A and B are shown apart, each in its own frame.
Chain A
Amino acid sequence: MPRKRFDLRFPPRQAAKPVIYHLVKDYDLTPNILRAQIEPGQQGRMLLELTGRKEAFADGLAFLEREGLTVSEAAADICLDDEKCVVCGLCTAVCKPQALYLDDDFALKFDKDKCVYCEACVIACPRRAITLRF
Chain B
Amino acid sequence: MAKSWEEINSRIAAGEAVVVTAEEFSGMAAADGLESAAKKVDVVTTGTFGPMCSSGVFLNFGHSDPPIKMQTITLNDVPASGGLAAVDTYLGITEPSLTRGIEYGGAHVVEDLIRGRAVRLKAIGPGTDCYPRTEIDTWVTLDDLNQAYFFNPRNAYQNYAVAVNSSDRTLYTYLGPLLPRYANATYCSAGALSPLLNDPTYRTIGVGTRCFVAGAAGYVAWEGTQHNPNQVRDEAGVPMAPSGTIAVIADLKQASPEFFAAATFTKYGVSAYVGIGIPIPVLDEEIARTLALTDADLTATIFDYGVDRRSRPSPGRVTYAQLRTGEIEVDGRKVPVGPISSLPAARRIASELKRWIAEERFSLTQPLQLLPQPGTQSFKPLEIRTEEAI
Binds A, one of B195-203, B244-252, B339-347: B339-347
A15 CB–B CB distance under 8 Å: no
- B342 near A93 (CB under 8 angstroms)? no
Task: Please report which residues of chain B, range 157-186, place their CB below 8 angstroms from some CB of chain A when the two chains form the complex.
Answer: 176-177, 179, 183-186
Interchain CB contact (< 8 A) of B338 among A93, A126, A127:
A93
Task: Please report which residues of chain B, range 334-378, place their CB below 8 angstroms from some CB of chain A when the two chains form the complex.
Answer: 336-345
Min Cβ gap A104→B in Å is 10
When distances are taken between beta carbons in the complex, the residues of chain A under 8 Å from B326 are: 92, 101-102
- A120 near B177 (CB under 8 angstroms)? yes
Binds B, one of A19-27, A66-74, A82-90: A82-90
What's the Cα separation between A14 and B266 when bound, in Å?
37
What's the Cα separation between A86 and B273 when bound, in Å?
9
A1 CB–B CB distance under 8 Å: no
When distances are taken between beta carbons in the complex, the residues of chain A under 8 Å from B148 are: none
Chain B contact residues: over half helix, strand or loop, or mixed? strand
- Interface size counted on chain B using CB atoms at 8 A: 30
A128 CB–B CB distance under 8 Å: yes
A33 CB–B CB distance under 8 Å: no
Given A105-B344, A124-B266, A127-B263; A90-B179 close (CB under 8 Å): no
A123 CB–B CB distance under 8 Å: yes
* Interface-centre pick from A92, A98, A105 (highest chain B CB count, 10 A): A92
Interchain CB contact (< 8 A) of B184 among A94, A101, A107, A128:
A94
- B264 near A93 (CB under 8 angstroms)? no
- B49 near A92 (CB under 8 angstroms)? no
- A93 near B336 (CB under 8 angstroms)? yes
When distances are taken between beta carbons in the complex, the residues of chain A under 8 Å from B186 are: 90, 93
When distances are taken between beta carbons in the complex, the residues of chain A under 8 Å from B339 are: 88-90, 93, 102, 106
When distances are taken between beta carbons in the complex, the residues of chain A under 8 Å from B49 are: 86, 88
B34 CB–A CB distance under 8 Å: no
Min Cβ gap B375→A in Å is 35
Name which residue of chain B comes closest to A107, CB basis: B344
Min Cβ gap A17→B in Å is 30
When distances are taken between beta carbons in the complex, the residues of chain B under 8 Å from A88 are: 49-50, 273, 339-342
What's the Cα separation between A88 and B271 when bound, in Å?
14
What's the Cα separation between A33 and B177 when bound, in Å?
25
Name which residue of chain A comes closest to B348, CB basis: A87
Given A94-B177, A127-B261; A87-B342 close (CB under 8 Å): yes
Min Cβ gap B31→A in Å is 20
B interface footprint on A116-133 (CB within 8 Å = 1, 0 otherwise): 000010011011100000
Chain A to chain B: the 9 pairs with minimum beta-carbon distance, closest first:
A93-B338, A126-B263, A89-B339, A92-B338, A106-B343, A88-B342, A90-B176, A87-B344, A93-B186
Q: Which residues from chain A sit less than 8 Å from chain B, CB to CB? A: 86-94, 96, 98, 101-102, 105-107, 120, 123-124, 126-128
Q: Which residues from chain B sit less than 8 Å from chain A, CB to CB? A: 49-51, 103, 176-177, 179, 183-186, 261-266, 271, 273, 326, 336-345
With A96-B183, A102-B339, A126-B264 given, name 10 new contacts (CB 8 A): A86-B49, A88-B342, A89-B339, A89-B343, A90-B338, A94-B177, A102-B338, A106-B344, A126-B271, A127-B263
